Amino acid sequence: MKLTRETLVVIITFALLAIVPVIASLTEVPFYLDLGRRMMILAIGALSLNLIMGYGGMISFGHAVFVGIGAYVVGICAEHEVVSGFIQWPLALLACSIFAVVFGAISLRTRGVYFIMITLALAQMMYFLGVSLDRYGGDDGLPLAETSDFSGLIDLSEKNNLYYLIFVLLLLCLWICKRLINSRFGMVLQGARSNEARMQAIGFPVFRYQLTAFVIAGVMAGLAGILLANHTEFVNPDMMHWTRSGDLIIMVLLGGMGSLAGPIVGALVFILLEEALSGVTEYWQLIFGPFLILVVLFARGGLLGFLETRQSSDKPSDKPAEGSDD
């Protein structure tokens, strides 16, 4: 493999993430561990969104709904004293895939702004469902009695274990994404992003490819949700709120849409920014909001795009055009 800057970024990022627990125990600041887990979980979410948004051109403004569904299945199982991860996790992923098939089939009938808005509306619908689920905490959310139990295989209540499990799963997701987008399936998906009518004319059932991608992304986001539930030991409707979906979009764009490592870098930078700014002022979004606008106006392609263009300024960028949704 050629050592591109992107690969370098990935290696450095994972190397840093790998030693976070060591740093946390040396400095005796367990908060770093917490921060690192949150980063990696959101990175999985952003990675999955990038699959459909960056490579598929499907701008979903409700992607956090799958994070929420994954988390809620774990929470609801635990509430009914089903704590085995061997049951919880497959069930959560199955639920996500079912919801993704239904939501995807409805949403994919539309294009452009309509697609953005219907994914937003469907996610909001689930958010309100969560709020009105009084049996499972409603608005207040549902504390997890215990983390998923893997009967001695791995103890997730031990925070370092959970950290490295998330670490490995993030790597796995990255690998899956890489394999996917370089496969025939990924090529068709990217072809449909660039010119859907042409792909259709060549004879590809574009809808089926897009729906499959939507479901894969939904399941991957569900995995992030499962991990999030185990991380916070708490589930609430806010995980599905449309601003959480907005956060995921920000991470993808911040890092660089349509590049493999972009969303991971984006998620890391997003959390770091959030932490740093909220340390400076209570009104940190007063800074973060305009910062986003500036990123949109002047830093197209995100952080990785910035690196790429500096590396290969002599050849035109083959980055996917943003907003190629219509």
Partner 1 sequence: MVDPHLLFEQLFNGVQYGILLFLLAAGLTLVFGIMDMMNLAHGSLYMLGAYIAATVALATDSFLLGIAVALPSTLVVGIFLEVVILRKLYDRGHLDQVLATFGMILFFNELVRLIWGPAGIEVPLPSILNQSLTLFSIPLPLYRILVIGVGLAVAGFLYVLVVKTKLGMLIRAGASNREMVGALGIDIKKIFTLVFGLGAALAALAGAMAGPIFAATIGMGENILIQVLVVIVIGGIGSIRGAFVGALMIGVIEIMGRSFLGDFFKLFLSGNAAETAAPAAASMLIYILMAGVLFFRPQGLFPARSG
**Residue 297 within binding range of partner 1, rule CB under 8 A:** yes
Between CA 240 and CA 96 the distance in angstroms is 13
**Residue 129 within binding range of partner 1, rule CB under 8 A:** yes
Cβ nearer to partner 1, comparing 169 with 303 = 303
Instruction: Select from 253, 264, 267, 271 the one that contacts partner 1 (CB under 8 A).
Output: 253
Closest by CA position to 122, among listed 111, 132, 112, 114: 114
Between CA 36 and CA 237 the distance in angstroms is 23
Cβ-in-10-Å burial (0-12, 13-18, 19+) of 275 comes to middle
Q: Choose the binding region for partner 1 from 17-25, 91-99, 154-162, 290-298 (rule: CB under 8 A).
A: 290-298
**Residue 122 within binding range of partner 1, rule CB under 8 A:** yes
**Residue 171 within binding range of partner 1, rule CB under 8 A:** no
**Residue 43 within binding range of partner 1, rule CB under 8 A:** no
**Residue 269 within binding range of partner 1, rule CB under 8 A:** no
Between CA 117 and CA 108 the distance in angstroms is 12
Instruction: Select from 286, 306, 311, 312 the one that contacts partner 1 (CB under 8 A).
Output: 286
Instruction: Select from 121, 165, 176, 299 the one that contacts partner 1 (CB under 8 A).
Output: 121
Report the nearest approach of partner 1 to the CB of residue 112 (Å): 7
Between CA 307 and CA 316 the distance in angstroms is 14
Instruction: Select from 7, 27, 84, 132 the one that contacts partner 1 (CB under 8 A).
Output: 132
Cβ nearer to partner 1, comparing 49 with 173 = 49
Closest by CA position to 49, among listed 65, 37, 36, 35: 65
- Supply φ then ψ for residue 34, to 5 degrees: -60, -45
Q: What is the dihedral of CA 179, 182, 186, 190, to 10 degrees?
A: 140
- Number of chain residues interacting with partner 1 (CB under 8 A): 51
**Residue 207 within binding range of partner 1, rule CB under 8 A:** no
- Supply φ then ψ for residue 60, to 5 degrees: -90, 125
For the chain, what is the total number of helices (H) and then of strands (E)?
13, 2
Q: Choose the binding region for partner 1 from 30-38, 133-141, 205-213, 310-318 (rule: CB under 8 A).
A: 133-141
Between CA 216 and CA 55 the distance in angstroms is 13
Q: Choose the binding region for partner 1 from 127-135, 173-181, 216-224, 259-267 (rule: CB under 8 A).
A: 127-135
Q: What is the dihedral of CA 148, 227, 187, 309, to 10 degrees?
A: -160
Cβ nearer to partner 1, comparing 53 with 211 = 53
**Residue 100 within binding range of partner 1, rule CB under 8 A:** no
Q: List, in order, residues 6 or more apart from 283 with CB less than 8 Å away.
A: none
Report the nearest approach of partner 1 to the CB of residue 324 (Å): 7
- The alpha helices in 138-195, defined as continuous H runs, are 159-182, 184-194
**Residue 323 within binding range of partner 1, rule CB under 8 A:** yes
Residues that bind partner 1 (CB under 8 A): 53, 59, 61, 106, 109-110, 112-114, 116-118, 120-122, 124-125, 128-129, 131-135, 242-243, 246, 249-250, 253, 257, 283-286, 288-293, 295-297, 300, 321-326
